[in-house]
């Protein structure tokens, strides 16, 4: 049985510009237009444009929106300033990660608070169903919220790299350069209202735009033209993956899953346990100091062969972990990998070996991220 893949509002543009379309979480998305390395470098050196419309977007408003979210995500939603965005996790009762998400605290034109969640494409239905289940609380009753999934009504475009703010600026009536990191604001884009936020998934400065689906192409084409002046370019999911991996950012389905807790993943900063009540909170309190579970680590290999997902990690003859993501780093010019390993080995400078298709390749454990921008 074949299932119909979903198309973003920019699908036709991708196809007509040489995008190699692949199935990603049920969406037909460009993995690359020409070269992943060229798109990666354009983003590090100038600006890369990414269609990330496949990410799930939910609006949550109504009198109980804040208290409701506060009891489902790992970080406090109460106290978020208007425009503020928080990276947070949704965990199950045992503390396993259901998704990593962004929570936006926004205000509508009438001055009423509302929230937006951006969730992973592959978890959109799961998180929707989970939130729906959590709406009913045994002690607080059913949360009074108005919520809807706006994923297909909108498009989401990430503009990333040192030139990103410069090219986004003329398109919006807010000064994006003055927008603080992890803040967002509603603006009037040329084709209608849009949300601009100083967020991203590449390790570069930049922003993400959420615009109505029917104005997406117009905004995108303006960005493409502006980016070309700086040798910037549209970039596909391939470059998005190499960029996020260099930046040490975990990807759901690889570094994150329901079998991994946030502390193992190195995401303790995204978990507030004090005076909180959310699914998994009590389990996480016990797991916080559990040293028996593997931890996420990063490795640089000395050869040229690239470790891939699923490859085993060895300390001598003992299998001590596995790779969850690996690539050849275009910026560092070496193979890099992320994965989980016995906790005492997840320490910088520890030497391990990774079994790359039958041959043990020496690997050095490094602090994440692999790459940090200098400005």
Partner 1 sequence: MQPQDLLYAKTHEWVHVREDGPDRFATIGISHFAVEALTDLVFLELPEVGRQVKAGESFGEIESVKAVSDLYSPVTGEVIEVNAGLPDKLETFQDDPYGDAWIAKIKITDEAGLAELMDHAAYQKQCAEEGH
User: Which of residues 28 and 154 has its CB atom nearest to partner 1 in the complex?
Assistant: 28
Q: Does 25 interact with partner 1 (rule: CB under 8 A)?
A: no
Cβ within 8 Å of residue 316, ≥6 positions away: none
How many chain residues interact with partner 1 (CB under 8 A)? 17
Q: Does 137 interact with partner 1 (rule: CB under 8 A)?
A: no
User: Which of residues 24 and 182 has its CB atom nearest to partner 1 in the complex?
Assistant: 24
Q: Indicate which single residue of 222, 288, 305, 364 sits in contact with partner 1 (rule: CB under 8 A).
A: 305
Stretch that binds partner 1, among 84-92, 172-180, 287-295, 300-308 (CB under 8 A): 300-308
User: Which of residues 239 and 297 has its CB atom nearest to partner 1 in the complex?
Assistant: 239
Q: How far apart are CA 124 and CA 319, in angstroms?
A: 35
User: Which of residues 127 and 306 has its CB atom nearest to partner 1 in the complex?
Assistant: 306
Q: Indicate which single residue of 30, 238, 262, 266 sits in contact with partner 1 (rule: CB under 8 A).
A: 238
User: Which of residues 160 and 187 has its CB atom nearest to partner 1 in the complex?
Assistant: 160
Q: Does 36 interact with partner 1 (rule: CB under 8 A)?
A: yes
DSSP assignment string, 213-258: GGGHHHHHHHHHHHHHTTT-EE--HHHHHHHHHHTT---BTTTB-T
- Residue 112 CB neighbours (<10 A): 12
- Number of Cα atoms under 13 Å in the Cβ half of residue 119: 27
The angle at the Cα of 10, spanning 193 to 226, to the nearest 5 degrees, equals 70
Q: Indicate which single residue of 19, 266, 330, 339 sits in contact with partner 1 (rule: CB under 8 A).
A: 330
Q: Does 308 interact with partner 1 (rule: CB under 8 A)?
A: yes
Nearest to 50 by CA among 156, 172, 163: 156
The angle at the Cα of 182, spanning 179 to 185, to the nearest 5 degrees, equals 50
Q: Indicate which single residue of 145, 171, 265, 306 sits in contact with partner 1 (rule: CB under 8 A).
A: 306
- DSSP structural state of residue 183: B
As measured in angstroms, the least distance from the Cβ of 238 to partner 1 is 6
Cite the beta strand spans of 75-177 per DSSP E.
85-91, 97-107, 113-119, 136-137, 141-142, 146-149, 154-160
Contacts with partner 1, residue ranges (CB under 8 A): 31-32, 34-37, 238, 242, 304-306, 308, 327-328, 330, 335, 357
């Amino acid at each position: 049985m074949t299932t119909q893949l979903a198309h973003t509002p920019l699908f036709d543009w991708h196809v007509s510009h040489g995008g190699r379309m692949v199935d990603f979480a049920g969406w037909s998305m460009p993995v690359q237009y020409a070269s992943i390395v060229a798109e990666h470098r354009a983003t590090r050196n100038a600006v890369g444009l990414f269609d990330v419309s496949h990410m799930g977007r939910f609006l949550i408003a109504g009198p109980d929106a804040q208290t409701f979210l506060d009891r489902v995500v790992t970080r406090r939603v109460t106290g978020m300033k208007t425009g503020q965005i928080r990276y947070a996790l949704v965990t199950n009762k045992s503390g396993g990660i259901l998704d990593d998400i962004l929570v936006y605290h926004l205000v509508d034109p009438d001055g009423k608070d509302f929230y937006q969640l951006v969730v992973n494409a592959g978890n959109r239905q799961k998180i929707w169903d989970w939130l729906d289940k959590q709406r009913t609380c045994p002690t607080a009753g059913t949360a009074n919220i108005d919520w809807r999934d706006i994923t297909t009504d909108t498009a989401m475009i990430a503009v990333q790299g040192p030139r990103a703010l410069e090219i986004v600026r003329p398109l919006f009536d807010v000064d994006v350069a003055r927008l603080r990191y992890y803040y967002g604001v509603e603006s009037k884009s040329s084709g209608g209202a849009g949300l601009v936020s100083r967020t991203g998934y590449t390790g570069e400065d930049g922003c993400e735009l959420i615009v109505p689906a029917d104005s997406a192409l117009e905004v995108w084409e303006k960005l493409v033209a502006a980016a070309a002046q700086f040798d910037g370019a549209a970039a596909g999911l391939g470059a998005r993956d190499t960029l996020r991996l260099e930046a040490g950012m975990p990807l759901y389905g690889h570094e994150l899953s329901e079998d991994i807790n946030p502390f193992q993943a190195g995401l303790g900063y995204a978990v507030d346990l004090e005076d909180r009540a959310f699914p998994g909170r009590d389990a996480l309190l016990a797991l916080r100091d559990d040293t028996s579970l593997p931890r996420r680590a990063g490795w640089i290999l000395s050869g040229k062969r690239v470790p891939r997902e699923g490859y085993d990690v060895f300390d001598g003859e003992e299998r001590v972990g596995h790779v969850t993501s690996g690539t050849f780093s275009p910026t560092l010019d070496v193979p890099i990998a992320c994965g989980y390993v016995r906790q005492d080995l997840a320490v910088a400078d520890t030497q391990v070996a990774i079994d790359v298709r039958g041959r043990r390749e020496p690997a050095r454990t490094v602090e994440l991220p692999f790459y940090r921008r200098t400005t």
